[in-house]
Amino acid sequence: MDEILILYALCFFAVALLYASVGHGGASGYLALMALFGFAPMVMKPTALLLNLLVSFVAFLSFYKAQFFRPKLLWPLIFGSIPFSYLGAIIPLSDSWYKKMLALILLLSVFRLLMNQNNTSLKTEPKFW
């Protein structure tokens, strides 16, 4: 039992470290790990949310100290994400539908990453509308 807990901790730490290094929280990584380890969806959702908030906050502090944070870009994201997060939370899904949708979204993400490997052009800074 202790070996399994150590394996879980190491995997979650690796995901958190990799995602935080680029400013992300890692929710998709935590969900993928928990799905592979056979966690129940009722455990997966709050665990991924809490880990995502913690790692995102640590990444935010690093970006803020490096002066990469721009409040003008934050407000549209906040006003769009909070209502839709609530809307997504109140939609009831069975465990089987949740796992199927999670697998589909993760596979689409992998496909998109593989298709965009050759796109190395520099992008300009996003503009605030």
| Position 11 pLDDT exceeds 70 | yes
DSSP line for 101-122: HHHHHHHHHHHHHHHTTT----
What phi and psi values does residue 30 have, to the nearest 5 degrees?
Answer: -65, -40
- Encoding tokens for residue 69? 């944070």
Contact (CB, 8 A) for 27 and 49: yes
pLDDT, greater one: 116 or 76: 76
Instruction: Tell me how crowded residue 52 is: count the other CB atoms within 10 A of its CB.
Output: 20
Q: What is the mean pLDDT of residues 102-121?
A: 81
Q: What is the pTM of this model?
A: 0.62
pLDDT band (50, 70, 90) for residue 60: confident
